[in-house]
Amino acid sequence: MENNTTADQPELFPESKKKKNRIFPIILAFVLIVGGFFGYRTYSFSQTHEVTDDAQIASNMSPVISKISGYVQEVYVKDNQFVKKGDTLLTLDNRDQKMALQSAEAALGTARSNISTAKASTNAASRNINSTTAAIATANAQIEAAKVNVWKSSQDLKRYANLVKDHTITQQQYETALAAKQSADRQLQVLIQQRNQVSQQTGIVNSQTAASSEQIGVASAVARQREVDVENAKLNLSYTVILAPEDGFVSKVSTQKGQFLQAGSQLFSLVRDNSSWVIANFKETQLAKMVEGQKVEIDIDAFPDHHFEGVVSSFSPATGSTFSLLPPDNASGNFVKVVQRLPVRIDFKNLDAKIAKKLRAGMNVKATVTLQ
């Protein structure tokens, strides 16, 4: 009885083995069909699209910079605050700038008074020229009168000389005529010397007038320089009030009241709320068929239920690593080939205004470019 039972035992489950052999080929065939379908679909998609998840939202950011050195007097904004163009962000202690402005204005007043003094000197010199010119004219007239007197006395002396020979007149009368002739000659010489002195004085006055005119030019140039100093002082005074250059959101404000700022130091940034785009870093092997104007499907991690439309706007002139602080130099050291990425700008199309206000620079994005 025991031997018969052992011999018949392998035939107890023949139907279960047949069922297992039939299910496995079906599952394998289904897996192959599904895998082939998705593989073909992925291949076809890759031929007409380029995808990267190395992309972020970018926005215009205006740096807030102090143009002068000084101590912070008051800070009027806080982190993430929205401000409008022209709003006061912070102020600096302006006492030094006010004193500099007052000093420049005082120097300008002195320069302008120097111009007035130079003009007055020139006018006085001009009047002196007119006076000396009139004096020369008077001296010339007196010289002409003296020449007439000399001629008359000379004629009288000749007549008296003939008469004294004939004893028609006395010797005293002749000597009187001779004295008149000598007096007329001396008078003529004196008037000529006086005219020469007046002429010399006129030359001196002309030189003084020319010098005064040059002083007017010098004083005017100094005054213009002082006007520039005043404008520069006013400009520096205006720099003590730092205003918002654009509408936007203030980034983290680390500047505190009483802090000393160096000229040119960046205080914080102002992120504009009306401009956002995508910077997608595609591998260099993905760029062969990409051109400007191609449509882009944008998926933002912050809005998983919303698909955005975009368009390829421009390509960076160099790869991202080229603009890094330490760009690679393959001419030195060991060379290791690394696939480079090129930043591509993608602009949004038909972006909803409400969602646009929620976009923030640096948000992760997946960009899918349609190659057509």
In a domain, 141, yes or no: yes
Please indicate, yes or no, whether residues 113 and 71 belong to a single structural domain of this protein.
no
The answer to whether residue 212 sits within a structural domain is: yes
pLDDT at 208: 64
Residues 230, 157, single domain; the answer is yes
Domain check: are 101 and 233 in the same one? yes
Q: 169 with 223, same domain?
A: yes
Digit-by-digit pLDDT tens for the chain (372 residues) are: 444 444 444 555 455 555 556 777 778 778 888 888 778 777 776 778 899 999 999 988 888 999 999 999 999 999 989 999 999 999 999 999 999 999 999 999 988 888 888 777 777 666 666 666 666 777 777 777 778 777 877 877 777 777 767 777 777 777 777 787 788 778 778 877 777 777 666 666 666 666 666 777 788 888 899 899 999 999 999 999 999 988 889 988 988 999 999 999 889 888 887 678 999 999 999 998 899 999 999 999 999 888 899 999 999 999 888 887 777 776 666 677 888 999 999 999 988 888 888 888 899 999 999 987
Q: For the chain, how many structural domains are there in total?
A: 2
Query: Do 116 and 232 fall within a single domain?
Result: yes
* Statement to judge: residues 226 and 137 lie in one domain: yes
- Among candidate residues 312, 242, 323, the one with its CA nearest the CA of residue 282: 312
Do both 104 and 233 map to the same domain? yes
43 is written with which tokens?
A: 């291949």
Residue 180 inside a domain? The answer is yes
The answer to whether 245 and 85 are in contact (CB under 8 A) is yes
Query: Are 197 and 124 in the same domain?
Result: yes
- Residue 15 within any structural domain of the chain: no
Closest CA relative to residue 85, chosen from 248, 207, 217: 248
Residue that is written with structure tokens 């203030």 in the block: 250
* 109 and 226 fall within a common domain: yes
In a domain, 71, yes or no: yes
Inside any domain, residue 40: no
| Residue partners of 317: CB distance under 8 A and separation at least 6 | none
Q: What is the pLDDT of residue 347?
A: 94
Is there a single domain that holds both residue 149 and residue 164? yes
Q: Is residue 16 part of a domain?
A: no
Task: Give the closest residue to 290 by CA, choosing from 244, 344, 332.
Answer: 344
Residue 136 CA, chain-centre distance (Å), reads: 61
The residue whose two tokens read 């213009």 is 224
CATH at residue 84: 2.40.50.100
Domain extent for 80: 64-94+240-260
Euclidean distance between CA atoms 188 and 148, whole angstroms: 10
Which pLDDT score, from 0 to 100, does residue 7 have? 47
CATH of the domain at 175: 1.10.287.620
Statement to judge: residues 122 and 78 lie in one domain = no
Q: What is the pTM of this model?
A: 0.61
pLDDT of residue 6: 46
Name the maximum alpha-carbon separation found in the chain.
218
Residue 108 lies in a domain: yes
- Output the pLDDT for position 5: 47
Q: Please name the residues in contact with 294: beta carbons below 8 A apart, sequence gap of 6 or more.
A: 311, 312, 369, 370, 371, 372
Same domain, 100 and 118: yes
